[in-house]
Amino acid sequence: MNWNTGSIEGVELKPFQIFQDERGWLSEIFRSDEMLPGDFPSMGYLSLTNPGQSRGPHEHTHQTDLFAFFHGSYRLYLWDSRDSSVSSGVKQVLEVGASNPMVVRIPPGVVHAYQNIGEDAAYVLNFPDKLYAGEGKKEPVDEIRHEDDPSSMYSMEL
């Protein structure tokens, strides 16, 4: 598939607003009064990605992700394959991390991946609105994985 470049409907990019003083800095990742109805996080996790390694591409049927890229250097890939979206067929690539700290809201159906393009391991936070594997980890995982499919149309080539 030939992807168009541009912005993807429903993906929200929010640069960190940094409050800095002599102790260091602080930034709000999310506030309940600024979130869309139904997007309130159900859990949070921290992941570390080694240099040159990728996570994804994958997508969720029901889950909205709320990533905070604040450390290291990442290339974030987003693909809109939702037929009903005004941005269907769009691929969006962003560089995020310490030099461009960003909170990124990714709605269901948007395929996403990120790669650590730095020289050191780097952290990412995620606050999805659904529990991984549901209540008590007893439900199917809401994830369609494309990374193991050699014929996948979701290429992380630029």
The tally of domains found in the chain comes to 1
32 lies in some domain: no
50 lies in some domain: yes
DSSP string spanning the chain?
A: --PEES--TT-EEEE---EEETTEEE-----GGGSPTT---S--EEEEE-TT-EEEEEE-SSPPEEEEE-SSEEEEEEEE--TTSTTTTEEEEEEEETTB-EEEEE-TTEEEEEEE-SSS-EEEEE--SS-TTSGGG-S----EE-TT-TT-S-----
30 lies in some domain: no
99 lies in some domain: yes
54 lies in some domain: yes
71 lies in some domain: yes
The confidence score (pLDDT) of residue 157 equals 86
CATH no. for residue 87? 2.60.120.10
* Residue 109 structural domain: 4-18+41-129
The confidence score (pLDDT) of residue 129 equals 97
pLDDT tens string, the chain, 158 residues long: the values are 889 999 999 999 999 999 999 999 999 999 999 988 888 999 999 999 999 999 999 999 999 999 999 999 999 999 999 999 999 999 999 999 999 999 999 999 999 999 999 999 999 999 999 999 999 999 999 999 999 898 999 999 87
85 lies in some domain: yes
pTM of the model: 0.95
48 lies in some domain: yes
